[in-house]
Amino acid sequence: MRKFFQEIKADLKFKTAGPGQKLSEPSRAPKEKPKAEAAPKPRQAPTDEAQMAAAAALARLELKPKGKVPSSQEAIKNQVRKELMAEAAASEKELPVEEKDVASPAKEGAAAPSVPGVYFICPLTGAVIRKNEKEKHLREAIQAYSSVDPVAASIMEIHTFNKDREKVRAGVETMAKYLDNIYLHPEEEKYQKIKLQNKVFQERISCLEGIHRFFQAIGFETKTLPVPGQGKKSQTTEEYYVLKEEMLTKLEDLKQYKEQLLSSEPVRAQLDRQLSVFKPSAEAARFELPNDFYNLTAEEIKREQRLRTEAVEKASMLRTRAMREKEEQREMRKYNYTLVRVRFPDGYILQGTFYAREPVSALYSFVREALREDWLPFELLGPGGVKLTDENLAFNECGLVPSALLTLAWDAAVMADIEASGEEKPTSSLKPELLSRVQTLS
Per-residue pLDDT reduced to its tens digit, 181-199: 999 999 999 999 999 999 9
DSSP label of 220 = E
Q: Is the dihedral of CA 412, 435, 278, 368 positive or negative?
A: negative
Q: Which amino acid is at 441?
A: L
Task: Name the residue with higher pLDDT: 55 or 399.
Answer: 399
CB 20 within 8 A of CB 361: yes
Q: How far is CA 168 from CA 174, 209, 264, in A?
A: 10, 10, 11
Domains and CATH numbers, the chain: 119-270 (1.20.58.2190), 332-440 (3.10.20.90)
142-158 per-position pLDDT tens digit: 999 999 999 999 999 99
3-state secondary structure of 440: coil
Q: How high is the mean pLDDT of the chain?
A: 78
Task: Name the residue with higher pLDDT: 419 or 305.
Answer: 419
Position 82 pLDDT exceeds 90: no
Position 345 pLDDT exceeds 90: yes
13-53 per-position pLDDT tens digit: 544 444 444 434 444 444 444 444 444 444 454 555 545 54
Highest-confidence segment of 5-19, 219-233, 329-343, 425-439: 425-439
Please give the Cα distance from 88 to 93 (Å, whole number): 9
Based on DSSP, count helices (H) and strands (E) in the chain, helices before strands: 14, 11
Give the angle subtended at the CA of 252 by the CAs of 251 and 258, to the nearest 5°. Answer: 95
Please give the Cα distance from 196 to 400 (Å, whole number): 52
Q: What is the 3-state secondary structure (H, E, C) of 85-100?
A: HHHHHHHHHCCCHHHH
Interhelix angle 165-184/251-263, nearest 10 degrees = 160
| DSSP string for 156-191 | HHHHHH---HHHHHHHHHHHHHHHHHHHH-TT-GGG
Q: How far is CA 157 from CA 59, 81, 143, in A?
A: 27, 17, 9
Task: Name the residue with higher pLDDT: 344 or 420.
Answer: 344
Q: Which amino acid is at 337?
A: Y
Instruction: Tell me the mean pLDDT in the region 206-213.
Output: 95
Q: What is the number of other CB atoms lying within 10 angstroms of the CB of residue 385? A: 10
- pLDDT given for residue 228 in this prediction: 74
Nearest to residue 300, comparing CAs of 276, 325, 335, 249? 335
Q: Could you tell me the pTM of the whole model?
A: 0.68
Give the angle subtended at the CA of 400 by the CAs of 396 and 403, to the nearest 5°. Answer: 120
- pLDDT given for residue 384 in this prediction: 83
Q: Lowest-pLDDT range, 12-21, 157-166, 346-355?
A: 12-21
Position 61 pLDDT exceeds 70: no
